[in-house]
Amino acid sequence: MDFNALVKQYQEPLYWHIRRLVVNHEDARDILQDTLLQAWRSVASLRDERALKAWLYKIATNGCYLHLNRNRERPLSTEELSEVLLGRLESASYVDYEDGAGVKFQQALLTLSEQQRTVFTLRYYDEMSYDEIAEVVGSSAASLRVSYHQACNRIRTYLETNS
């Protein structure tokens, strides 16, 4: 696969995955660019081309985690990170505040831990199997099922109490 084919096939889905994790458009574009360049430099080391999608998502997800914790004396707690990301969402000019349900759903997503948000977005938006997600996050499919279920419950609870 050449670089242009890689970009054409994965640029948009990777962008939206990254955007859901970091919220900010400019940050998502930077992380996407880094992801694609890192992948292109290392694609020759990929043994099984069928694993390309999970490998790309793993690079992107790790890039998001690094970005979210960069330049901090200590990693943020789930609550602190949620506050930062909610602040970004509320100050973003791209948010359609007329879509109240959509905004509430995005706010609910941002209350999840990094892992729950990652698992939820990969399963819900990117429609990955638990086995594929396990390759991305380095966890077992069984524990990811639990994490996804917990994320769904937290989202449901948030939406019920904030409607």
Residues in the chain, pLDDT under 50: 96-97
The region, left, alpha or beta by phi > 0 then psi within -120 to 50, assigned to residue 127 is left
Stated pTM of the model: 0.75
What is the C-alpha end-to-end distance of the chain, expressed in Å?
A: 47
Condensed to tens digits (0 to 9), the pLDDT of residues 64-73 reads 988 877 755 5
Condensed to tens digits (0 to 9), the pLDDT of residues 66-98 reads 887 775 555 556 566 556 665 655 555 555 445
